[in-house]
Amino acid sequence: MYKKIIEYLKDKNIAIVGFGREGKSSYNFIRKYLPNQHLTILDGNVNLIENNSELKQDVNTQVIVGENYLEGLENYDLLIKSPGVKFKDLDTSKYEDKIISQLSLVLDFFKNNIIGITATKGKSTTTTLITQVLKDQGYDAYLLGNIGIPIFDYVDKFTDKSILVIEMAALQLEYVKSSPHISLILNLFEEHLDFFKSKDCYFKSKMNAFKYQDSNDFGIYTSINDTLNKYVEEGNYKSNLIDINKEMCIKDGFVYLNEKKLYNVNDERFLLGEHNLSNIMFVLRLSELLSLDLNKTINTINSFKGLEHRMEFVGLFDNVKYYNDSIATIPEATINCVKALKDVDTIIFGGMDRGIDYSSLINYFNNSDIDNFICMKDTGYKIGNQITRGNVYLVESLEEAVSIAKKVTKKICVMSPAAPSYNEFKNFEEKGRKYKELVLTNVKNKSK
């Protein structure tokens, strides 16, 4: 399959826009098979060449960096866009048909072997779980995409029998012109307004997972999410749409698909909370669609321990449980976390202000049993000033937050930001690991 991609890229005037993880992957792939083809790298980092020795030695690559690196995009035949690059403020009408990505290329040439998963929240967990289900049943399955594994890192290993399980972010879906053979859209919530011109643009990018499907394809979603249901109803999609809210239900402690009993919700499992049960229902429905062994699917679900930074158990110290939920970057995710853990009496939250509506979280906090609200800049301050119950602490740093948590928590402390971390950290991973480090050094080592 990769040969078709190479043939498509051959002799084109190509610019790789953004030289992060995916941009480097695209560069390495092209250089492996087209070593002498001229390339242009566009990136805002003025130190790009100094930090990437391979670019210094590549006489066939031009590097353009700095604040004006996005000028003249119309002059290239193809623009391989990395998902972290913002086109929000650009008029792309003159060259939109030239914008491609790793995702768009494999969709164009390999769509029938792709299961694509997208959502505002839950897509990494669900994508990883689906991949494990398939691997445990003997399939040649690959975990790829927005989860942090560029598709081109493995593209030359795929066979006709391979299944590509791809986590698809909105910024990866934005310019695609093909959709996966099987697409799952788990939910839609307000998010990423710093990358999109409007909520509608963000939601429509997500819906591209269904948009280009045909009558041979399948789209799995749930109408219980009002926003998702609205966009499905307005979409006039041509694929076989499966609404798990209509086909599946929970009664007498079991998940049913129509009249078929699938799963005991009281089984011991690591994925806690109603939101994870919803994700499990998607996996069960996909398993039935693919005619997988149900018992093996259930065994994989119940043994799956989840991913780092997602309601991750850090430790039990002085009879207090500490959890890291730094992936929670929207209000709904934080609310789901608190509901799942049940006995949270201290929550650390706050981060970069993207301008989204926090009224639902404020209302939830004001009607919760949480005793201690530890508020970090910037959104934490905004929310904390509207909390009318419990103990509210406005802190300057994560160190201060953990120090206060150690003093006041009696049952469960969780860091669940309800906002991105970019105002103080590189990403949610860095924030989550710092939190865990602080808990393990300042709480564990100083516990009674």
pLDDT (tens digit, 9 = 90+) per residue, 9-67?
999 999 999 999 999 999 999 999 999 999 999 999 999 999 998 998 999 999 999 99
The per-residue pLDDT for 239 is 98
258, two tokens:
């129509």
Nearest to 414 by CA among 306, 332, 309, 322: 322
Q: Copy the structure tokens of residue 106.
A: 């494999």
Mean pLDDT calculated for residue range 434-445:
89
Mean pLDDT of the chain, nearest integer: 95
Q: What is the C-alpha to C-alpha distance for residues 98 and 12, in angstroms, rounded to an integer?
A: 11
With a cut of 90, say whether residue 112 has pLDDT above it: yes
Res 448: pLDDT: 47
90 DSSP 8-state letter: S
User: Which element (helix H / strand E) includes 440?
Assistant: none
CB 387 within 8 A of CB 362: yes
pLDDT over 90, % of the chain: 93
The residue to which tokens 């788990």 are assigned: 186
Residues with Cβ within 8 Å of 240's Cβ and at least 6 positions away in sequence, in order, are: 215, 217, 218, 219
Residue 78 in this model has a pLDDT that exceeds 60 = yes
Which one-letter amino acid corresponds to residue 105? L
- Judge whether residue 264 has pLDDT over 60: yes
22 and 82 Cβ atoms separated by less than 8 Å: yes
Residue 99: strand, helix, or coil = strand
**pLDDT, tens digit (0-9, with 9 covering 90-100), for 167-217:** 999 999 999 999 999 999 999 998 767 788 899 999 999 999 999 999 999
pLDDT band at 406 (very low <50, low <70, confident <90, very high): very high
Backbone φ and ψ of 47, nearest 5°: -100, 20
Q: Give residue 123's pLDDT.
A: 95
- DSSP assignments along 15-70, one per residue: EEE--SHHHHHHHHHHHHH-TTS-EEEEES-TTHHHH-HHHHH-TTEEEEESTTTT
34 closest CA partner among 17, 5, 10: 10
In this prediction, residue 194 carries a pLDDT of 77
Q: How far apart are CA 323 and CA 343, in angstroms?
A: 12
pLDDT in tens, 274-285: 999 999 999 999
- Sorting pLDDT into bands at 50, 70 and 90, what band is 354? confident
> CA-CA distances (angstroms) from residue 66 to 45, 71, 342?
6, 10, 48
pLDDT number for residue 445: 67
User: Quick check: 295 pLDDT over 60?
Assistant: yes
**pLDDT at position 446:** 64
Domains and CATH numbers, the chain: 2-100 (3.40.50.720), 103-303 (3.40.1190.10), 312-444 (3.90.190.20)
80-102 pLDDT, tens digit per residue, is 999 989 998 899 999 999 999 99
pLDDT exceeds cutoff 80 at 396: yes
Tally Cβ neighbours within 10 Å of residue 169.
20
pLDDT tens across 301-349, in order? Answer: 999 999 999 999 999 999 999 999 999 999 999 999 999 999 999 999 9
